Structure formats: C-alpha cells, structure tokens
C-alpha cells in the first residue's frame, strides 16, 4: 500500500529524535487547530527525566509550550487537556503545577490514572489548542 503524503497545509512539529521511534509528531497544526501529542517530562537539553512528579509536570508544560510556539500557538489557546498520571498519589503533587499553568485558562479536562510507556514516567499531558 502506498504511503499517503501529509496535507501540505498541515504543519508537523517534532522536538526529539525519539518521536520517530513511535512514528509520531509532537504536534500537528491544521488551520486554526493544534493537536499536541501526549507529552512527558523529559528535559530535552540533557535527555534526563526527573524523578519528581512535580518536576516532570513542569518539564511537560515547557515541552508543550515549545510545541505550541513552534506551531504559532500559545498555552492560552488550549481548549482541551488530558492528564495521564501513573499513580493517584501524584495528583496532589501535580495539581499545583496544573493550576500554575491553567488556572486562568480553564480548558475542558480529563485526568486518568494509567501505566505509561516507561516506568519512570509519572506524568503525560496532551492538549488541543484553537485560535480561530
């Protein structure tokens, strides 16, 4: 089967080489929409994943903001967010970080508790942004 070429009006955003492993883009911009894939708390400047759930959440928001900026968006354009935490015990640790970033934006939100790809990962966040 022939591979379909992406829509030329679509902008694909990549932040790390690891995204190729999973055949994904960090974010996809289509018109006034930006879809940011599930993003974790790696510090891409040194390739490290902090142990603390709070620091992972801070790094995750920084990575999301970098993806949004690359697509011409900002965090304030977020209309939907999904949080995935690896353990309920992380909720009270991560909540202040969430509030720091979204208290004035108030996107529609879902939070789930689930295993993540790497046992060291504690936080994954996915956002949808719209600027129409």
Domains in the chain with CATH codes: 34-130 (3.30.1330.40)
Predicted pLDDT at 4: 67
Write out pLDDT tens, residues 76-131.
999 999 999 999 999 999 999 999 999 999 999 999 999 999 999 999 999 999 99
Phi then psi for residue 80, to 5 deg, are: -150, 145
CA–CA separation, 43 vs 58, rounded Å?
10
pTM score over 0.85: yes
What is the band of 2 on the pLDDT scale with cuts at 50, 70, 90?
Answer: low
Write out pLDDT tens, residues 19-60.
777 778 899 999 999 999 999 999 989 989 999 999 999 999
């Amino acid at each position: 089967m022939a591979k379909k070429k992406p829509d030329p009006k679509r902008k694909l955003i990549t932040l790390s080489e690891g995204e190729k492993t999973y055949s994904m883009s960090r974010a996809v911009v289509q018109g006034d929409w930006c879809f940011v894939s599930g993003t974790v708390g790696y510090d891409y400047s040194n390739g490290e994943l902090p142990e603390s759930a709070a620091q992972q959440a801070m790094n995750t928001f920084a990575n999301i903001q970098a993806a949004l900026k690359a697509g011409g968006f900002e965090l304030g354009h977020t209309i939907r967010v999904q949080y995935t935490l690896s353990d309920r015990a992380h909720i009270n640790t991560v909540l202040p970080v969430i509030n720091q970033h979204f208290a004035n934006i108030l996107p529609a939100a879902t939070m789930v508790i689930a295993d993540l790809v790497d046992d060291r990962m504690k936080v994954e966040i996915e956002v949808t942004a719209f600027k129409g």
